Amino acid sequence: MKLKRKLFCITDNYNKPDFRCLFEDRADAEKKIRKMQSSLKGETVFFPNYKRDFFIDGVKKNTFSAKRQLAVKKGCWTTLKVKKMSLLADIRSETLFSRIKKTKERSSSLSMQSSYDLPELSLPSFQRSSFFEFDWQSSFLRTKAFTASCAALFMLTFGTIFVINHNAANQINSIFADAQADQTKMMVMAQTRASENKDSTITRQFDEKLDELVLETLLSFDNLKTEEFEHELRKILAKSPMEDMIPLIAQQDRTVAAFLVGIAKKESNFGRRVPVLNGQDCFNYWGYRGIRPRMGSGGHTCFDDPQDAIDTVGGRLGRLVNADVDTPQEMVLWKCGSQCSKDPQAGKWIRDVNLYFKKIQNDGPA
């Protein structure tokens, strides 16, 4: 379920959006700017041609060199502005399913406890106490109202236990309805166990083996899906510099993986045109410009290895997809931020990214 909403982010003089802080209220964003400008935390670097960049975590020493003399001041000395962004909030069905699953587990546990762990009750024998002068013959415990109340309480308790057992049985049946042949075999063993009234040790061992079998089956399904996805990606990325990243991309959400492939094709032709640092590949195939101590050619981020690249870029794309920025038309802000309406190349960027984005999405599960 998708709900459109408007958020605000902080940008600098070059309209570079900072997605680390998103605000639902403009006043909160302006308050954040005032706090940053009045604080001595962070440092501002003054580059040639009057360019300034603010680093909230401080500037690393290796940013400077003998050939590149820069001025640094404590605090924020650059102009920051608030920009409005139209985003979407996503209530994911997986979260709802997880909660339902936990509720089922708690209900099942309560059912088992209510059915088998009830303590034994013994009624005390009432006698006339000479100390308290209790008269059993005239006590309210022998009235019809008290007897009826006890009977009603017993029926209510019995009915509650019956309903809990009935609901738990229905839930267990629905979970195991789609099980494979091995699960069917285990259910037959469960019926045999119940009919033969096995002891508690055998029952516990059976339940443990059943849990292991279900877990192994689920893991096998997940591995099979991942292998199939890797095969799809290999058809597209084979013999390109991104081929080594296929196992890492296959572990991502399919929409995030589709953006990783589509944007990489547009920005670097699958890693064939990339920024470098000291002649070495920066593994930046998406035009990512996050500020780091190691920056490659063209002002692009230089990653340590493919794992670092997929974790960073895939994580940023994943947060945008979770905010329902899940089409190339919406993801164009990756290229031009809040100024895409004025960028004549925005339309071509959308078409080029959509070519492989749509291909991967259409090849996915129905």
**Would you state the pLDDT for residue 104?**
45
Q: In whole angstroms, give the CA distance from residue 142 to residue 134.
A: 13
Burial 251-275 (b: 16+ CB within 10 A, else e): ebeebbbbbbbbbbbbbbebbeebb
Report pLDDT digits (tens) over 126-144: 444 444 454 555 556 667 7
Residue 226, pLDDT score: 81
Cross-strand pairs, 205: none
Percent of the chain with pLDDT over 90: 29
As a whole number, the mean pLDDT across the chain is 77
Delimit the domains of the chain by residue range. 2-85, 239-362
Give the lowest-confidence range in 117-131, 168-182, 214-228: 117-131
CA distance 273 to 288: 13
Residue-level pLDDT at 358: 92
CB 326 within 8 A of CB 255: yes
Q: Per-residue pLDDT averaged across 19-23, rounded? A: 79
Cα dihedral sign for 160, 164, 165, 167?
positive
The DSSP bridge pattern shows strands 17-23 and 2-11 to be antiparallel
User: Which tens digit of pLDDT belongs to each residue from 199-208?
Assistant: 666 667 767 7
- Given this model, what pLDDT does residue 214 score? 62
Q: What is the mean pLDDT of residues 337-363?
A: 87
User: Is pLDDT of 95 > 70?
Assistant: no
Full-model pTM: 0.41
Amino acid 114: pLDDT: 42
Pick the range with the lowest mean pLDDT from 105-119, 153-167, 218-232.
105-119
Q: Could you tell me which residue, 63 or 1, shows the higher pLDDT?
A: 63
Reported residue count of the chain is: 366
Instruction: Kindly state the percentage of the chain with pLDDT values over 70.
Output: 68
Given a cut of 50, is residue 78 above it in pLDDT? yes
Q: What average pLDDT does this structure show over 12-31? A: 82
Q: What is the mean pLDDT of residues 145-168?
A: 86
Give residue-wise pLDDT tens across range 330-349: 999 998 888 887 888 889 99
Question: For residue 79, is pLDDT > 90?
Answer: no
Across 267-275, average pLDDT: 91
Residue 64 has pLDDT above 80, yes or no: no
Write down the pLDDT at residue 146: 77
Q: Is it the case that residue 50 has pLDDT exceeding 90?
A: no
Residue 248 has which token pair? 């890492």
CA distance 166 to 111: 9
**Is pLDDT of 105 > 70?**
no
